[in-house]
Amino acid sequence: MTLTDETLMAYADGEADAETRALVESAMRDDPEVRRQVERHRALREAMQGAYSSVLHEPVPDRLIAVARGQRAGERGPERAAAGVLRAPLRSASASRRWQPFAMAASLLMGIGLGYLGWHTSNGLVKSDASGGLIAGAGLAEALSNQFAADRPAASVAVTGISFRNKSGDYCRTFSLSGSSGLACREGSSWKIKVLAESAQPTQPAGAPDNFRQAGSADSTAVRVAVEESMAGEPLDQAGEIAARRSGWAAASAR
């Protein structure tokens, strides 16, 4: 029988079953051309492995280790951001603080220290729910439920950013508190905090020109990734926000 090149490739990759192996080996003994083809496949495999094997021995950048350990979503340095090659805010996490894993059950906390979280908690902005996750406390919930992106009061502690529906049909809104930003989604009668992350930049001073896209730009990578991943369709415009508020931010399935 004639052995196809794919069969010889599978043999060279160690993927052939015993029967095929025997066939190929017998053909290799009889036919130098078969032997040559198998050797080509092996040589390519070795060349590919050899070309990239050194990557395994390079020191892994600290920022990647920090991110893997949940020590804040890092952002990369300005020189890379200026090059604009990929998503801008990836920077070294060298100045990172550990997030505290105690509330990880349902909320992702990035770069939020215990004391900081305690401060939010004491302000009533954030509280734990029965499952150990975080939900918006009264002050934040009020803002999430009632503020529109375009007309938020400058003095407010909690300001809303973009609003959208997630893939489960729930309404979600980004918000920023002083020093942190996050994403909350309306589940039942509470705003469940999906992500709370230390802000990449200081929040705008009160009285700064209102521009919710600017507020969005202070969102951490973690918030942005969460928004990108959970958003179904486009962000709501103001009419959409008004309609959503009128509905009490009820999930699509509940209407």
CB of 233 to other proteins, least distance (A): 15
CA distance 225 to 221: 6
CB of 131 to other proteins, least distance (A): 11
Closest by CA position to 182, among listed 153, 210, 224, 214: 224
112 contributes a contact to other proteins by CB under 8 A: no
Closest by CA position to 120, among listed 74, 46, 175, 161: 175
19 contributes a contact to other proteins by CB under 8 A: no
Q: Is 134 helix (H, G, I), strand (E, B) or coil?
A: strand
CB of 204 to other proteins, least distance (A): 25
Contacts to other proteins from residues 164-203, by CB under 8 A = 195
29 contributes a contact to other proteins by CB under 8 A: no
Using alpha carbons only, give the angle 12, 16, 20 rounded to the nearest 5 degrees: 110
CB 156 within 8 A of CB 175: no
Closest by CA position to 183, among listed 215, 151, 150, 146: 215
50 contributes a contact to other proteins by CB under 8 A: yes
Stretch that binds other proteins, among 85-93, 138-146, 154-162, 169-177 (CB under 8 A): 85-93
Query: Which residues, listed in sequence order, are joined to residue 91 by a DSSP beta bridge?
Result: 75
5 contributes a contact to other proteins by CB under 8 A: yes
* Site residues (vs other proteins, CB under 8 A): 5-6, 9-10, 13, 15, 32, 35-36, 39-45, 47-58, 60-61, 63-65, 67-70, 73-74, 76, 80, 84-87, 90, 101-102, 104-105, 108, 195, 221-222, 225-226, 229
